[in-house]
């Protein structure tokens, strides 16, 4: 009976992890959400093996009580932690570091990205570590992004999405630091691909934004056909998560299990 905790589970990729994992009634799935009031998609699934717990990952008290709640339900253990929650400031995606508008806004986006995407992830791992040590799988997966890849950034001359990319590059190192310390664990920094998590109609949603972003990468990904669905991304990510072993710990890999030019 494997147990999973997923942060940022009310929507997008996080929701889909809960959906696919809870489809197997042998799994126990802890869906961590910022507010139960926005967790209607999870409650609509109506599955008894889903436990919805409130936790903003920037709130240490909330993380501590979430870990206690998981612990009391599992008898003290957890098998898999999936750090999915992230701060994504999409309104200012296209701006570059030198042309961001007011300095305060740049500072805010840098700090907000770091606070959630790096510091929040570290505290989440720390609060759940005692449980993970008692689990059998001992896998910690942190969602990162191909935008954190320095080589691709340089090759594609991709200067946009800076605060987010910087925070994801930092969390890759967080992943490596834990992997270096806890040799009995698998720590993975996993990129989910380019995933359409918009709630709008896929035909009229963020396609413009996606094309602007992917245009830069076309040269490197000539076969890229557009963003994938959360369903496809999570299916591929679960294959990677299940397929990785201790020799993979500390890696920064994609949903295709390959770092080299496979972020999309
Ligand atoms: N979509 C992509 O193409 C893509 C590509 C590369 C990497 N990723 C990564 O994949 C992960 C999921 O992406 P997504 O597209 O599903 O994102 P999303 O649709 O923007 O959802 C983000 C989730 O994170 C939660 N969240 C934000 N701040 C939080 C906080 N302080 N504490 C707890 N939860 C918080 C949100 O909660 P609320 O529902 O309460 O707002 C939401 O559930 C992220 O780590 C993202 O960086 C996504």
Residue 39 in tokens: 């967790």
- Best residue among 20, 59, 86, 142 to mutate for probing ligand 1's pocket (most ligand atoms within 8 Å of CB) is 86
Q: What is the pLDDT of residue 38?
A: 96
For ligand 1, say whether the CB of 192 is within 6 Å of any of its atoms: yes
- Residue closest by Cα to atom 1 of ligand 1: 195
For ligand 1, say whether the CB of 86 is within 6 Å of any of its atoms: yes
For ligand 1, say whether the CB of 34 is within 6 Å of any of its atoms: yes
Rounded CA-CA distance 248/35 in Å is: 34
Is 164 tagged catalytic? yes
Rounded CA-CA distance 117/7 in Å is: 11
Rounded CA-CA distance 70/60 in Å is: 15
Q: Which superfamily does CATH assign the domain made up of 3-254 to?
A: NAD(P)-binding Rossmann-like Domain (3.40.50.720)
CA of 75 to the centre of ligand 1 (A): 29
Residues of the chain above pLDDT 90, percent = 81
Q: What is the pLDDT of residue 262?
A: 85
In ligand 1, the atom with minimum distance to the C-alpha of 13 is 16
- Residue closest by Cα to atom 32 of ligand 1: 56
Closest CA to 85 of 107, 63, 100: 63
Give me the catalytic one of 168, 191, 233, 254: 168
Q: What is the pLDDT of residue 251?
A: 96
Q: What is the pLDDT of residue 90?
A: 86
Q: What is the pLDDT of residue 208?
A: 61
Is 191 tagged catalytic? no
Q: What is the pLDDT of residue 209?
A: 60
For ligand 1, say whether the CB of 8 is within 6 Å of any of its atoms: yes
Question: What does the pLDDT look like over 82-132, one tens digit per residue?
Answer: 999 999 988 998 899 999 989 999 999 999 999 999 999 999 999 999 999
**HSE value, Cβ hemisphere, 13 Å, CA-based, for 108:** 8
| Residue stretches of the chain with pLDDT short of 50 | 204
Give the residue extent of every domain in the chain: 3-254
For ligand 1, say whether the CB of 135 is within 6 Å of any of its atoms: no
Task: Specify the DSSP class assigned to residue 89.
Answer: -
Phi, psi at 52, each rounded to 5° = -95, 125
Give ∠ CA 232-79-9 in degrees, rounded to 5: 45
Give ∠ CA 46-48-49 in degrees, rounded to 5: 120
Phi, psi at 187, each rounded to 5° = -105, 125
Give ∠ CA 16-264-12 in degrees, rounded to 5: 20
For ligand 1, say whether the CB of 82 is within 6 Å of any of its atoms: no
| Cβ(137)–Cβ(82) below 8 Å | no
Closest CA to 80 of 31, 16, 144: 31
Is 25 tagged catalytic? no
């Amino acid at each position: 009976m494997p147990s999973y905790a997923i942060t940022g589970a009310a929507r997008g990729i996080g929701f889909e992890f809960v959906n696919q994992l809870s489809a197997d009634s042998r799994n126990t799935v802890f869906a961590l959400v910022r507010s139960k009031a926005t967790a209607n998609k999870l409650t609509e699934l109506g599955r008894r093996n889903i436990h919805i717990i409130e936790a903003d990952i920037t709130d240490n008290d909330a993380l501590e009580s979430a870990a206690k709640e998981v612990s009391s339900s599992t008898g003290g253990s957890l098998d898999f932690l999936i750090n999915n929650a992230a701060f994504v400031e999409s309104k200012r995606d296209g701006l570059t570091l030198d042309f961001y508008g007011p300095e305060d806004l740049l500072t805010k986006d840098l700090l907000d990205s770091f606070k959630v995407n790096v510091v929040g992830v570290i505290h989440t791992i720390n609060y759940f570590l005692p449980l993970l040590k008692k689990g059998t799988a001992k896998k910690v997966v942190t969602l990162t992004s191909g935008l954190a890849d320095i080589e691709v950034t340089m090759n594609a001359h991709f200067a946009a999405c800076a605060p987010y990319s910087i925070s994801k590059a930092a969390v890759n190192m967080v992943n490596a630091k834990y992997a270096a310390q806890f040799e009995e664990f698998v720590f993975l920094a996993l990129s989910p691909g380019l995933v359409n998590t918009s709630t709008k109609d896929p035909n009229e949603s963020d396609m413009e934004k996606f094309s602007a972003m992917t245009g830069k990468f076309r040269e490197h990904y000539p076969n890229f056909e557009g963003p994938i669905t959360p369903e496809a991304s999570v299916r591929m990510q679960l294959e990677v998560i299940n397929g990785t072993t201790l020799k993979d710990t500390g890696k920064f890999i994609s949903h295709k299990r390959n770092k080299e030019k496979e972020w999309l």
